[in-house]
Amino acid sequence: MIIGTGKIYLSANWVHSLKEKRMIVKSIIDKVKHRFNVSIAEVDKQDFHQSIVIGIACVSNDSKQANSIIQNVIDYIELNTDAIVENIEVEIY
């Protein structure tokens, strides 16, 4: 069993409240859940209204497939949000 994980650090400088941030995060999570079969959640910096950290995980029987799934989700998030991607961490176990 291979586990693929990813963390995406986003910056949304135009956000002025946690309510705005929650709407953006919820939109991203809902879109990804609908399109991909992965686990996804906001995993850090929940109390900072301009910083978003989203974690992704998938399980596969092949490390190449796990990496491909995580990369596809990351690419999808980059294309479907106005937030700036600051950093991406991908690990395959």
Q: What is the pLDDT of residue 45?
A: 83
Q: List, in order, residues 6 or more apart from 15 with CB less than 8 Å away.
A: 21, 24, 49, 50
Share of the chain above pLDDT 90, in %: 69
pLDDT under 70 in the chain at which residues? none
CA 48 to chain centre: 16
> Under a CB-based contact definition with an 8 Å cutoff, are residues 12 and 21 in contact?
yes
> What region, left, alpha or beta, does residue 78 occupy, with left being phi > 0 and alpha being psi -120 to 50 degrees?
alpha
Q: List, in order, residues 6 or more apart from 68 with CB less than 8 Å away.
A: none
Write down the residue that tokens 């937030």 correspond to.
83
Domains and CATH numbers, the chain: 2-92 (3.30.70.1120)
Q: What is the pLDDT of residue 57?
A: 96
pTM, rounded to two decimals: 0.87
